[in-house]
Amino acid sequence: MNKIIGIVSGKGGVGKTTLCANIAFSLAYAGKRVIAIDGDISLKNLDIPLGMTDKSVYDFTDVLSGRCEIEKAVVRHDDCPKLHFIAAPQQADPDSYNAQGFARLCRQLRQTYDFVLIDAPAGVGKWVRDIIGCCDECIVVATPDLTSLRDAQRVVQLISDSGDPPSRLVINKVSPAMINRGYLQNVDDMMDSVALPLLGLVPTDDSIVIYSNSGKPVAGSKSVCAHPFENIAMRLCNHGVPLDKYWRKNKNK
Ligand SMILES: Nc1ncnc2c1ncn2[C@@H]1O[C@H](COP(=O)(O)OP(=O)(O)OP(=O)(O)O)[C@@H](O)[C@H]1O
Ligand SMILES: [Mg+2]
């Protein structure tokens, strides 16, 4: 079934945009039709890890306010034809978008695409609530530190207030060495604190920053960091991909 999936977090900088771009590539490489929407008005940057900077003339508020047809705002990735993108505006007049219009746009896109991925801004503001309200499913992203996990709990509360779309947790920037030394909680405790099932774990790795900055996907590359993103994408397709052997070994420590 086609799905609208929001990628959300309480704390900023936890890796939503990186995750959104890499699962978008992974799903498209797996043959799914994918559209990634940058929902981060004013702080848009999904175009960077997608390698689609300067491709968009129009953004989603242009569609919502009737300044352009939807087809003009949708741009196709040059090297990955099943992956499409809609930009966010750099600045937006509050009259040019609203929750109902955005939800309508997402539902319309869901008729064409297997996955409509929305890269949300951080936090618990009204626009984040509006995004959650139009999703079939949410991915809550957190990093292993207590501040991020506590902020993720606040987002889980928002999700529950928005009618409880099914939600799963991705813990990004995980350092197995820090967990093993006892400086961070183990993964079970992280899951318990946020009270969500685990969708995946992504290690902290400088190569992810290097790939992102060059507009190249980690997913599909030879980097060891490709697998966590690809596995998350497969789980979104309901394939039962077990956690990597390494994580299984460390999960209950
Ligand atoms: N697993 C990782 N290992 C190392 N660096 C990472 C990892 N994931 C993301 N990063 C880096 O962390 C920074 C923040 O990532 P990103 O922009 O994806 O976060 P975000 O949650 O979208 O931020 P914001 O809340 O500001 O939108 C970027 O420099 C990105 O390259
Ligand atoms: Mg972001």
45 alpha carbon – ligand 2 mean position (Å): 6
Backbone φ, ψ for residue 207 (5° rounding): -65, -25
Nearest to 15 by CA among 47, 49, 39, 41: 49
Contact residues for 47 (Cβ-Cβ < 8 A; gap 6+)? 38, 53, 54, 55, 56, 85, 87
Contact residues for 158 (Cβ-Cβ < 8 A; gap 6+)? 124, 128, 129, 132
Residues 28-71 have pLDDT tens digits of 999 999 999 999 998 999 999 999 999 999 999 999 999 999 99
12 alpha carbon – ligand 1 mean position (Å): 9
Atom number of ligand 1 nearest to Cα 11: 25
253 alpha carbon – ligand 1 mean position (Å): 26
Q: Could you tell me if 136 and 129 are in contact, meaning their C-beta atoms sit under 8 angstroms apart?
A: no
pTM of the model: 0.95
Contact residues for 156 (Cβ-Cβ < 8 A; gap 6+)? 140, 167, 194, 195, 196
The rounded radius of gyration (Å) of the Cα atoms in the chain is: 17
Please, where are the H alpha helices in the chain? 16-29, 47-50, 60-64, 70-73, 99-110, 126-133, 146-161, 176-180, 187-194, 206-213, 226-236, 245-251
Instruction: Catalogue all structural domains in the chain, each as residue range(s) with its CATH number.
Output: 3-251 (3.40.50.300)
Average pLDDT, the chain: 93
Return the structure tokens found at 178.
């820090």
What is the total residue count of the chain? 253
Query: Does the pLDDT value for residue 245 go beyond 80?
Result: no
Backbone φ, ψ for residue 117 (5° rounding): -105, 130
Q: Which ligand is nearest to the CA of 38?
A: 2
Nearest to 217 by CA among 16, 84, 29, 7: 29
44 alpha carbon – ligand 2 mean position (Å): 7
Atom number of ligand 1 nearest to Cα 122: 25
Reported as half-sphere exposure (CB side, CA atoms, 13 A), residue 185 has a value of 17
Give the pocket of ligand 1 (CB within 6 Å).
9, 12-18, 40, 122, 172-173, 202, 204-205, 208-209, 212
Averaged pLDDT for residues 148-168:
95
Residues 189-206 have pLDDT tens digits of 999 999 999 999 999 999
